Amino acid sequence: MSDTQTLTVDTAPTPTASRQKRRLGDFSTFSDALDYAAQGESGFNIYNGRGQLLEALPYRELRIQAIDTARRLIGLGLEKGDRVAIIAESDGDFARIFFGCQYAGLVPAPLPLPIAFGGRESYVATLRGMIQAAGARAVVVPDIIGSWTDEITSNLDLVFGGSPSGLMATQPTAIDLPASRPEDLSYLQFSSGSTRFPMGVAVTQKAGMANARAIARDGLHVRETGDRCVSWLPLYHDMGLVGFFLTPLTCQLSVDLLPTREFARRPHVWLDLISRNRGTIAYSPSFGYELCARRPAPATLDLSCWRIAGIGGDMIRHHILEAFAERFASVGFGSEAFVASYGMAEATLAISFAPLNTGILTDTVDLRHLETEGFARPSNDPSHALRTFVLCGKVLPEHDIEIRDPAGNILADRHIGAVYVRGPSLMRGYFGRQAETDDVLDRHGWLNTGDLGYMLNGQIVVTGRAKDLIIINGRNIWPQDLEWSAETEILSLRSRDVAVFSVETENGEDIIALVQCRATEEAGRAQLREEAASLFRRQHGVDVSVILVPPHTLPQTSSGKLTRARAKAMLLAGQFEPVTSSAA
């Protein structure tokens, strides 16, 4: 059923109480986890963008339907270990097919809907690249983009390419389903592609379950009774797939799912569902909280039930969270519910969690000292340029984290270096990409995350991506510092309106800022250029070439992150149109 329909189903969502003993991810495989959850009352609940219930899917029914789907997939001629690409709409069909793959010994590869791509042609090309990288033998395309199926699947070697209903119309096999082992691949998680073409992260049953168990037991402290999840996060991204699809099922929690593509238009539907269904666990990147705080909210909200308001998926903007907490304090939201975390698909999802019930903890440092000395010297001196970072907690049990210098030496607290992690949640590697795997994963099991950061009293502080770092005259400049300054100080700008990067010239490196502009008159555009350039000189001591681009043109990854690498490539390829008019 499409979420554009306005009719609700004649049933209620699955209850919060599963009415069975809570188990926190202590299973060998995800199919074992569903077998156990099916003995209770909880399940997935699919809502449309207006918050109307479209389908209540108890885990007991999902198990039956997933096993039937598994038989249909095998009936197509698919064999154990084959990959099945699923363009991931947040609906019951995705759940049935994903878990059908788990029971059939197949490897699902959730792929993105066309939310964060520059157009149909670009999206289809990216999607086909992912399908080919996965070596998928079947592709399932949801009805919402069903008319694109031929473009997506043409000339690919597939046994099936079509809709969920088309898959369900195929003939099921009568043979026994294969047994899954902890060492088998569970799924491929395509990286968000912020600095490169997305690659398939290969996650085993054992690694996926280790992360789900650590998230539930050590990060979220899932309770024996009362917890319920509410999410708008995409199921093709690790935070949505692992955090709010797989982990809740392994803990027998009910989940209320909203369509990602509707969130930006109606962000308060998320809050309304939390209020209405008494949700206790919900996550978002910073921009999601910002969207909610910027829109008017119904006075009937009651957010006192929300005990874990998680933040992840991007660099955390503490001032946005402060604004959200102030905005919704009157309807019961407590800032102590905020939980910062750090993770990535290469570690299945989570690496660290901040302590619960403490809210956001920050560290303010001297920015110039950070840039020139690589040391986070604490400072509150208003005469200095300052930068405030969010502490993202201690590494999960059974995992390790280290900050290293270029020679591989472990650094002490407050010294900036490369972030390395190790533990049972790490990926097997990038699927079919051994050279790229060897670049980041060493023989001792350590993963180079590609992030820079420092340790502080046992907690990790992430300062940015190593590939994004701009080096000018011996200074290490983080582009988000410039981006956030502009978006905070210039009233006409919003989050994700600015992309900063450097380009090589004959004279060295120049800093470029692409700024989304809504001004209709040349005077307004000229003022924005000068205001931004002046701000960068005044606050950061650097000359920046400010280039205005139309609204909604800066590229984002499938998870909603700004992708500076793609923005730079688009600029160099001449793909940005001149600013001639405004858009909302």
Average the pLDDT over 442-449 and give the result: 97
- Which SS3 state, helix, strand or coil, does residue 463 take? strand
Query: In the structure encoding, which two tokens stand for residue 2, read together?
Result: 């499409």
Q: Are residues 111 and 228 in the same domain?
A: yes
From 189, 221, 256, give the residue that closes a domain. Answer: 256
Contact 469, 452 (CB under 8 A): yes
Name the pLDDT band for 580 (thresholds 50, 70, 90): low
Average pLDDT across the chain, whole number: 92
Q: Can you tell me which residue has the tokens 């905070």?
A: 488
Q: Are residues 455 and 533 in the same domain?
A: no
Query: In the structure encoding, which two tokens stand for residue 577, read together?
Result: 């149109």
Name the pLDDT band for 7 (thresholds 50, 70, 90): very low
Name the pLDDT band for 566 (thresholds 50, 70, 90): confident
Q: Which of 63-77, 78-92, 302-316 has the lowest mean pLDDT?
A: 302-316
**Given this model, what pLDDT does residue 431 score?**
97
Where is pLDDT greater, at 561 or 388? 388
Contact 287, 496 (CB under 8 A): yes
In a domain, 281, yes or no: no
Q: Is the pLDDT of residue 59 over 90?
A: yes
In the DSSP assignment, the letter for residue 176 is P
Q: Is the pLDDT of residue 4 over 80?
A: no
Q: Are residues 431 and 527 in the same domain?
A: no
In a domain, 312, yes or no: no
Of 319, 316, 323, 360, give the one whose Cα is nearest residue 339.
360
Query: In the structure encoding, which two tokens stand for residue 235, read together?
Result: 């199921």
Q: Are residues 165 and 190 in the same domain?
A: yes
In a domain, 320, yes or no: no
Q: Are residues 72 and 201 in the same domain?
A: yes
**Given this model, what pLDDT does residue 444 score?**
96
Contact 233, 263 (CB under 8 A): no
Name the pLDDT band for 182 (thresholds 50, 70, 90): very high
Q: Is the pLDDT of residue 219 over 90?
A: yes
**Given this model, what pLDDT does residue 569 score?**
87
CATH of the domain at 206: 3.40.50.12780
Q: Are residues 135 and 205 in the same domain?
A: yes
In a domain, 71, yes or no: yes
From 436, 467, 498, give the residue that closes a domain. Answer: 467
Q: Is the pLDDT of residue 2 over 90?
A: no
3-state secondary structure 369-387: HHHHHCECCECCCCCCCEE
Per-residue pLDDT of 368-418, as tens digits, reads: 999 999 999 999 998 888 999 999 999 999 999 999 999 999 999 999 999
Q: What is the C-alpha to C-alpha distance for residues 530 and 268, in angstroms, rounded to an integer? A: 36
Q: Is the pLDDT of residue 195 over 70?
A: no
In a domain, 577, yes or no: no
Of 109, 104, 103, give the one whose Cα is nearest residue 76.
104
Of 179, 114, 107, give the one whose Cα is nearest residue 136.
107
Of 494, 576, 477, 564, give the one whose Cα is nearest residue 192.
564
For residue 298, the tally of other CB atoms under 10 A from its CB is 10
Per-residue pLDDT of 236-268, as tens digits, reads: 999 999 999 999 999 999 999 999 989 988 999
From 467, 499, 531, give the residue that closes a domain. Answer: 467
Rounded percentage of the chain residues whose pLDDT exceeds 70: 95
Q: Are residues 33 and 151 in the same domain?
A: yes
CATH of the domain at 501: 3.30.300.30
CATH of the domain at 451: 2.30.38.10
Per-residue pLDDT of 484-506, as tens digits, reads: 899 989 999 988 899 999 998 77
Q: Are residues 462 and 478 in the same domain?
A: no
In a domain, 454, yes or no: yes
Q: Is the pLDDT of residue 458 over 50?
A: yes
Query: In the structure encoding, which two tokens stand for residue 190, read together?
Result: 């395509």
Rounded percentage of the chain residues whose pLDDT exceeds 90: 81
Nearest-Å Rg of the Cα atoms of the chain is 23
3-state secondary structure 60-92: HHHHHHHHHHHHHHHHCCCCCCCEEEEECCCCH
**Given this model, what pLDDT does residue 116 score?**
52
Per-residue pLDDT of 104-130, as tens digits, reads: 999 999 999 986 555 788 889 989 999
Q: What is the C-alpha to C-alpha distance for residues 422 and 137, in angstroms, rounded to an integer? A: 32
Q: Are residues 134 and 247 in the same domain?
A: yes
Number of domains in the chain: 3
In a domain, 323, yes or no: no
**Given this model, what pLDDT does residue 559 score?**
61
Q: Are residues 495 and 438 in the same domain?
A: no
- Which SS3 state, helix, strand or coil, does residue 1 take? coil
Q: Are residues 204 and 67 in the same domain?
A: yes
Average the pLDDT over 305-319 and give the result: 91
Per-residue pLDDT of 414-436, as tens digits, reads: 999 999 999 999 999 999 999 99
- What are the distances in angstroms from CA 284 to CA 49, 146, 189? 17, 29, 19
Per-residue pLDDT of 505-553, as tens digits, reads: 777 789 999 999 999 899 999 999 999 999 999 999 999 999 999 998 8
Q: Are residues 373 and 502 in the same domain?
A: no
**Given this model, what pLDDT does residue 288 score?**
93
Contact 351, 396 (CB under 8 A): yes
Domain enclosing residue 189, as ranges: 1-256
In a domain, 216, yes or no: yes
